[in-house]
Structure 1
Amino acid sequence: MKIDVKLFAAVAEKAGASSVTVEFQHSSEVTIREIKKALVEKIPQLHEMLEHCFFARGDDYATPETVVFEGDTIAIIPPVSGGELAAFADATVRIVREPLSSEAMYQAVVRKEAGAVVVFAGTVREFTKGRQTKYLQYEAYDEMAIRQMQQIVNDSEARFKDSKMSIWHRVGDLQLEDISVLIGVSTPHRKDAFRAAEEAITTLKRTVPIWKKEFYADGEVEWVGPDGVWDPTKHE
């Protein structure tokens, strides 16, 4: 039995590959725990890093006991920072490489039923914890990111009555002041619009497999993750 595992961001760099295949002789099904053990045996330098990662089967986060069958899509998800899919004009969620437009997002969510429209733009800042940034590079696990972003939209629209939301994220190289993410939401009342946008960006940065690589002015490069313990499967 062979299982192909996709690698992203810092894990891919550490392994020197974007995917790795592990083999099992004993069974037609294995668990994520067994796959993790086999990966460490095959690529020992991943041991410490995998202690801080989650696994995904298909487009969903998996637990150590999740059962995997041959042919399943498995991916290692490093702590998120916060390829390319087609971006249709009416798409609710997008991952793109071209610059994002706040005005286009406004037009995507504004409607006559809404009394408030909030457009949140996350931009590339120059200094982070006292360190000067030259530019950023974003990478995404496209298929899973799109599904997770759509889930954020679905949950928000269910939570806030008569709301409409869109989320767009840019990947690739971004310069200072470039927009990395846009969240647009329209609601009948302003409080709901502000709350929905804030909750959406908080959830996105915790759960969506998009990674940020900082290229600093001093020449150093670093994959950026969250402070403290990271668990994308817990609801906050």
Structure 2
Amino acid sequence: MSDPSVVPSSVVSRLRAAGCVFAEEEARLLHAAAAGPAQLDAMIERRASGLPLEHVVGRAEFAGLRVEVDPGVFVPRRRTEFLIGRAVALARPGAVCVDLCCGTGAAAAVLLDAVPSAEVHASDIDPAAVRCARRNVVPRGGAVHEGDLFAALPDGLRGRVDVLVANVPYVPSAEVALLPAEAREHEPLAALDGGADGLDVLRRVAADARGWLAPGGRLLVETSERQAERAVAVVTAHGLPAEVLRDPEWYATVLVARRG
């Protein structure tokens, strides 16, 4: 568009009529991303139909980075910036870092940008997520692997991982239907559904994490406030003492476990 700072009021009105709570902000993003009036109109239609804004514009802002987001791939949440902030704080220069269930690879990209000389690997079971993550991670010097949790990783990482970020799905199966339509209809179920109590994938990660972590290595997992106590019990049962960190502003709850 010729002047991205001037957003037609009709764009805001159409988005507001479609139920977009932050219509003004979304209008600015769509207007700036569109190459011309025809593309802007098409983007507004896609957003009004319920497609996540990040899927419409093809990107998301995450921890100061612009991350590419493909249709059908899990959108990085702003609250997850708390998780990756803790991970960066724990990673020394040259640290070996892993981003499990990486989605777009947003966490891996931040680690690569923020931790000098870090060796960063990311993995996801979803081929669409892997394709997207490779565009965000590989140009920054990281590697992305396709497969189920640790099975995707190079065997040479065993016992070497200093920081293991695992943003596992943690929504209980019975509550997936209560999620906003944007998530239910446009993001992969495997990235949302954590099983009966929301902790199934965490249990699988915890069962194998100790063998991949270096001595003193940390496992960081996002969870919910009401699941935190049970999540701690899951990881401590596998020899990983844990603490829970909270950010009230973002309603973020992060479990940090350590291999002794």
Q: Which TM class, normalised by the smaller chain length?
A: under 0.3
- Indicate the structure with greater strand content: 1
TM superposition score normalised by structure 1: 0.27
- Indicate the structure with greater helix content: 2
TM superposition score normalised by structure 2: 0.25
